[in-house]
Chains A and B, each alone.
Chain A
Amino acid sequence: MTQILVIAEHDNLHLKAATRHVLSAAQALGGAIHVLIAGFGCESVVASASQLPGVEQVLHCEEASLAEGGAENLAQLVATLAAEYTHILAPATAFGKNWTPRLAALLDVAQISDIIRVDGPDTFTRPIYAGSLWATLRSSDPIKVVTVRPSAFEAVPETGGAAPVLQRPGVPDSRLTHRTGLTLTHSSRPELEAARVVVSGGRGLGSAENYQALLEPLADKLNAALGASRAAVDSGYVSNDYQVGQTGKIVAPDLYLAIGISGAIQHLAGMKSSRVIVAINKDPDAPIFGVADYGLVGDLHTLVPALTAAL
């Protein structure tokens, strides 16, 4: 009997959209689905989770030591719950990647990272080598610890369910780590990983000033999230959380505009599942044109303002 525990990603106030994508992977597995909300002062998240469709039960664990989502306490907590489940699923985001391997090691099982397809109850497909290849793996472990690439699974709706909530005890604080600082980028734009349109810039923009002056008006017109290549982040145009690619964020919006991005394989790994890709680049031989549905060769300094004006 398949018993799935989905670990929700949240900030104690809001349920992150990634959780709804993971639920869709859980539904592809079939079986009973429970969702764990571990945090502190996270009642509103519990309320959201209990409305998610297809959830049999919400487990609510309220504990100060879980407020920051630290790996040590969270992995320990999930390990105490794990015996009742055949599958433990979390999003393959910075949140999920941080603690799931810790859980897997505590349970002495392999982890299957960043799945993009469920092939069966113990069989999954995941990208390797920056998405150059897909590997299909079968697990022989009694508990499957799996992280799910959110962009590879459609999100389930926010409402439609009415799952009962069960309180569960927390775990003692390990005191191994605690947060001393948090700097979040505040933006009125959609979340990069959930946006329908992404406007992304590369080194071709030349400077942080150009990135802002050219891409922000375009993103405003399209209600788009802003992204960047590694080269643009390393050059200081924008901060690290904008990075799309193998080691940054993986996105699959309806429309991805790559502006001044040459298209290194590591960048393509993060965006090539987008529905429609548009590339604007002065180099007609840039590899980005190999994956773009529509390419426009020319000077982005004139083309981008013209595009913004034409929308």
Chain B
Amino acid sequence: MKVLVPVKRVLDYNIKARANAEGSAVELSGLKMSMNPFDEIAVEAALRLKEAGHAAEIIAVSCGVTACQETLRTAMALGADRSILVQTDMELEPLAVAKLLRQLILREQPGLVICGKQAIDDDSNQTGQMLAALLGWAQATFASRLDFTPGASRVEVTREIDGGLETLSVALPAVITTDLRLNEPRYATLPNIMKAKKKPLETLTPQALGVDVTPRLQLLRVAEPPPRKGGVLVSDVAQLVDKLKNEVKVI
């Protein structure tokens, strides 16, 4: 079984996002970019399936600017066998990404797609579900555990839901999206980073895949939320209780 893992290049987890001077976009120039953390978990999940003998090949895919090659090299340094970049300078919405992925999946015929549940830039939480819909496949979002039985036509997926955990029996092929606690991703070792430079990286375009990626949403403005008023330090419990009772009257 082939496993396809989409990976997104996003502003690094540790950097606070700011709007540009015009308030028309997020300021990204010159800032450190990294693989979306949920996609690292997806790559790790695919690697563990391969190590357990359930997956034969792992294909990493990224959609976006030329620099997404770095994200794909990271995925290959972690252990993906090859990768595909759908290169475009257009802003891609989740629906457009899902359509691009669908075309690649029709060509590659993977038995499983593992995505991060959301990207930490736009926090949309859409692409995996949209892809499953476009393919008519089963989906299992917010996965915290995967149980594969060799040769089975279904996989058991435990999902994090409001109020607890749900386990689904999911028909293959399927799209699974990863939650935080599915695994702890490994780090790439230096020898593997070197090896990844020699792994195949194919570049395509949306046009070559016949997909219209025109945005459906217009970004009117990006702004900092209204700041919270600065608080005060209280000296002891008695003062805190007094403030809560008499100043803000919440207890």
Chain A residues in the interface with B (C-beta under 8 A):
70-72, 75, 93-95, 97-106, 108-114, 123, 127-141, 174-185, 193, 197, 222, 230, 233-234, 239-241, 246-247, 249, 254-255, 265, 272, 275-278, 284, 289, 291-297, 303, 306-307, 310-311
Decide if B130 touches A137 in the complex (CB within 8 Å).
no
Known: A111-B94, A292-B231. A178 touches B225 (CB 8 A): no
Pick from B11, B165, B168: contact of A178, CB under 8 Å: B168
Q: Does B71 contact A (CB under 8 A)?
A: no
In the assembly, what is the distance between CA of A230 and CA of B161, in Å?
15
Task: Count CB-based A-B contacts (< 8 Å).
Answer: 250
Decide if A181 touches B167 in the complex (CB within 8 Å).
yes
- Beyond the given pairs A183-B164, A294-B243, 16 more chain A to chain B contacts, judged by CB atoms under 8 angstroms and listed by A's residue number, are A95-B162, A110-B95, A127-B225, A176-B137, A176-B174, A179-B168, A179-B169, A182-B166, A185-B163, A246-B123, A272-B228, A291-B231, A293-B231, A293-B248, A310-B238, A311-B241
Pick from A71, A111, A246: contact of B120, CB under 8 Å: A246
Decide if B18 touches A133 in the complex (CB within 8 Å).
yes
Q: Which of A93, A97, A181 has the most CB of B within 10 A?
A: A97
Pick from A108, A128, A180, A292: contact of B169, CB under 8 Å: A180
Contacts of A197 in B (CB 8 A): 250-251
B213-245: which residues lie under 8 A (CB-CB) from chain A?
Answer: 215-225, 228-229, 231-234, 236-238, 240-241, 243-244
In the assembly, what is the distance between CA of A195 and CA of B180, in Å?
25
Decide if B218 touches A138 in the complex (CB within 8 Å).
yes
Q: How many of B's residues come within 8 Å of A, CB to CB? A: 80
In the assembly, what is the distance between CA of A175 and CA of B168, in Å?
11
Q: Which of A70, A182, A247 has the most CB of B within 10 A?
A: A247
Decide if A71 touches B141 in the complex (CB within 8 Å).
yes
Chosen A-B contacts, 25 in total, with CB atoms closer than 8 Å, are A94-B142, A101-B125, A101-B126, A101-B129, A102-B129, A102-B132, A106-B133, A110-B95, A111-B95, A129-B16, A135-B221, A137-B217, A140-B216, A175-B171, A178-B168, A181-B158, A240-B181, A247-B118, A247-B179, A265-B16, A276-B250, A289-B231, A289-B233, A291-B231, A296-B236
Pick from B26, B140, B158, B164: contact of A133, CB under 8 Å: B26
Mostly, the B contact residues are mixed
Q: Does B58 contact A (CB under 8 A)?
A: no
In the assembly, what is the distance between CA of A213 and CA of B39, in Å?
37
Decide if A99 touches B233 in the complex (CB within 8 Å).
no
Instruction: Tell me, rounded to whole Å, the shortest Cβ–Cβ distance linking A310 to chain B.
Output: 5
Chain B residues in the interface with A (C-beta under 8 A):
11, 16-19, 26, 38, 93-95, 98, 117-118, 120-134, 137-142, 144, 156, 158, 160-171, 174, 179-181, 215-225, 228-229, 231-234, 236-238, 240-241, 243-244, 248, 250-251
Closest A residue to B128 by CB, please name it: A101
Decide if B217 touches A247 in the complex (CB within 8 Å).
no
Closest B residue to A76 by CB, please name it: B133
Decide if B120 touches A241 in the complex (CB within 8 Å).
no
Decide if A113 touches B125 in the complex (CB within 8 Å).
yes
Instruction: Tell me, rounded to whole Å, the shortest Cβ–Cβ distance linking B170 to chain A.
Output: 5
Instruction: Tell me, rounded to whole Å, the shortest Cβ–Cβ distance linking B222 to chain A.
Output: 5
